[in-house]
Structure 1
Amino acid sequence: MLWTIIVTIVGGAIIGVIGKAVAPGDRTKFPFWLTVLCGIVGMLVGSFLYWGIAGHDNGSFDGHEATWDNATNGIDWMRHLWQVVVAAVAVIVAAAVTGRKRS
């Protein structure tokens, strides 16, 4: 359980920073905790969207069935792309809600 929390926070920070970088506009006046929160949202929602659209029909591999958080052999680049896109949308929404954008 502790490992899941650590991976979620670190992964959320990475996905959030990438999402902030690819979000259109200037959204740099953001607290870091909000960036991590947007990344965590991107990780979870992006994974479930990918699973619902493309990942659920993958067959079994490496001795287990495909799941929402592990749908392919190796690194699941398409799932990570979905996560970054959702994180970028979350950054845009958070910037609009908090009014934290550079003028």
Structure 2
Amino acid sequence: MTELFTYIMEFKGGTYTTQVYANALNDSVVAWALQIEKEITEIKLIGNKTVHQIKDLISKEMIDKPTLLTGLENVWYLEIYTRIGVLRINIVKTTL
């Protein structure tokens, strides 16, 4: 069943939000990476090289899995370390 996931990313003083549809949480991380590639002009200080690095880290499973936040349902935290800084991401599975 396809679910809607909302990604709220903090990066270098900016907050960026996007939504993706996926069958599962881990699939949504891949879908999110593809989506930020499409929205690259909306994200300050992230260029094509960084997006490709993010996609590579995800595809090679070189990032930690999202962590379910204690006491919450359907809310996770994820950090991705890139050459230019850390992406701090909250993920919320939205009930449709």
Does TM, normalized by the shorter one, top 0.5? no
**TM-score, length-normalised on structure 1?**
0.30
Name the one with the larger strand percent: 2
Tell me which of the two structures has the higher relative contact order, counting C-alpha pairs closer than 8 angstroms and 6 or more residues apart. 1
Larger of the two Rg values belongs to structure:
1
Name the one with the larger helix percent: 1
